[in-house]
Amino acid sequence: FRTVRRVERLQGGLDSPWTVMRFEFDAGTGAAAEAIFIPTYDHSVAAWVNGRFVGEAGSISPPIAINGYHPALFRLRPEDLRPGTNTVDLVVAQAVPGAGIVHAIHIGSLEQLETAWRWVTFASIDVLRIYNGLFVVLGAFALYVYLQLRRESVFLWFVLLIACCGLRNLDLLWPQ
């Protein structure tokens, strides 16, 4: 696969929840253009290739989905591409107005990019789920110790801290 850098920012900015970014690539060079992989974006993203809609990760219309740090993979159909230079327009939407974040996209074979998508999903989402699972186990143990030694309130405070951390991470665990 090959990395494609942003050509220009078409619209959006600090006062707008939407930012449109343009990327260009040549379909005739390098790896086959079967998919677009976006390793990270903030908060939702939709993609068009040569004016044809190819996919959306999260809702870009209000209410905007909050999918920070989740990867996106869009499959390309043969009719989406044309010989020579192709244009990818990304609409990046944020629940809080600001500059949309997409640094680079990758275009290549579906097999390679699906593998990359799985690894990035594991690193950015699944590890957090494992971390929260360990927090639940640790919190249950601390609650058990508190119930056995009621005079030690520090264990109850620790359980409350773990519960707050878990609630804070809920929005990062399930893509909307």
Per-residue pLDDT tens over the stretch 9-27: 566 555 566 777 888 888 7
Instruction: Return the exposure string of 33-53: e unless at least 16 CB atoms fall within 10 Å of the residue's CB, then b.
Output: bbbbbbbbbbbbbbbbbeeee
pLDDT at 2: 57
pLDDT at 53: 92
Helix axes 127-148, 153-173, angle to 10 degrees: 160
CB-CB contact of 44 with 59 (8 Å): yes
Q: Is the pLDDT of residue 56 over 60?
A: yes
Q: Which two tokens stand for residue 5?
A: 């850098």
Per-residue pLDDT tens over the stretch 102-156: 767 888 888 888 999 899 888 877 887 888 888 888 888 888 888 888 777 888 8
pLDDT at 54: 92
DSSP 8-state class, residue 79: G
Q: What is the mean pLDDT of the chain?
A: 78
